[in-house]
Amino acid sequence: MIPKVIFKEMGIEENIEIIKWAYFEDNDTLDVNSYTLEYFPELKDISKDEIYKKIEEVVIKKYQEYKDIIQKEVKRYNSIWNSINDKYMDAISKYLNVSYLETKEIVAKVGVIAVFPRYLDELSFSLGINLKEEELIETTAHEVLHFFWFKKFKELFPLIPKDEYESPYLAWIYSEIIVDPILNSKEIKDIIEVKGKAYDSFYELEDGKIIANLREIYKENISIEEKIEKGYFYLKDKLK
């Protein structure tokens, strides 16, 4: 059965927890703290003793202020994605030569957040409001790709522990970089006419040479399994 992305309203407590995570996350690649402070400038220059209470206050206020908009965005997002869901799922499954995910629904929670975490165990992700149609499609395609990707990655590299599917490990870095060559491949561009983009910091690796070389690997006339393995060992050598 083809899995379906279902957009739902994020609960206020979950929204608060995501902001707390983003505020305290220390990751140069993602820089989620800076994005969060831009979204919630009220959180700047708050003492450690007061920050937890302040996060709850500002998130509750903004959540309540935007509650009607969140509900409208849930409807809009579902309407936009529904038209391409099945075609995209089928295209990614065929591209990676992997079966569909063992779930009927991929839940996407919509809230007042600046960064969009994904959860591999739950096959779910979170995203913010007021995304343009292209942004919504690119973000959803990006997150869904991760779920299919790690299903395939596990088949090819069964000894790599699941903990390394997260930052800052190589398996995680690879999963984020290949968003570029895969979402911009002809097979996927025939379904979604948006540009798939990795995190900005990855385009800076060796002045862009690493991501350029990975693009070339994924254009080679070899099986997807060979592409994934070749790309992984190339990246492992370059980032050792």
- pTM to 2 decimals? 0.95
C-alpha to C-alpha distance for 93 and 168, rounded to whole angstroms:
27
State the pLDDT at residue 101.
Answer: 96
- The per-residue pLDDT string of the chain (240 residues; one tens digit each, 9 = 90 and over) reads 899 999 999 999 999 999 999 999 877 667 899 999 999 999 999 998 999 999 999 999 999 999 999 999 999 999 999 999 999 999 999 999 999 999 999 999 999 999 999 999 999 999 999 999 999 999 999 999 999 999 999 999 999 999 999 999 999 999 999 999 999 999 999 999 888 899 999 999 999 999 999 999 999 999 999 999 999 999 999 998
State the pLDDT at residue 54.
Answer: 97
Q: Which residues are CB-neighbours of 197 under 8 A, at least 6 positions away?
A: 138, 179, 180
* Per-residue exposure over 9-30, b if at least 16 CB sit within 10 Å of its own CB, e if not: ebebeebbebbbebbeeeeeeb
Counting the structural domains of the chain, the total is 1
State the pLDDT at residue 194.
Answer: 86
Give the CB-side neighbour count of residue 131, counting CA atoms within 13 A: 28
State the pLDDT at residue 2.
Answer: 96
3-state secondary structure labels for all residues of 97-162: CCCCCCCCEEEEEECCCCCCCEECCCCEEEECCCCCHHHHHHHHHHHHHHHHHHHHHHHHCCCCCH
C-alpha to C-alpha distance for 142 and 145, rounded to whole angstroms:
5
Phi-psi region of 45 (alpha: psi -120 to 50; beta: other; left: phi over 0): left
3-class secondary structure, 6: strand
Question: 188, 163, 178: which is closest to 210 by C-alpha?
Answer: 178
The domain containing residue 151 runs over which residues? 4-238
C-alpha to C-alpha distance for 111 and 128, rounded to whole angstroms:
5
pLDDT tens per residue across span 91-108? 999 999 999 999 999 999
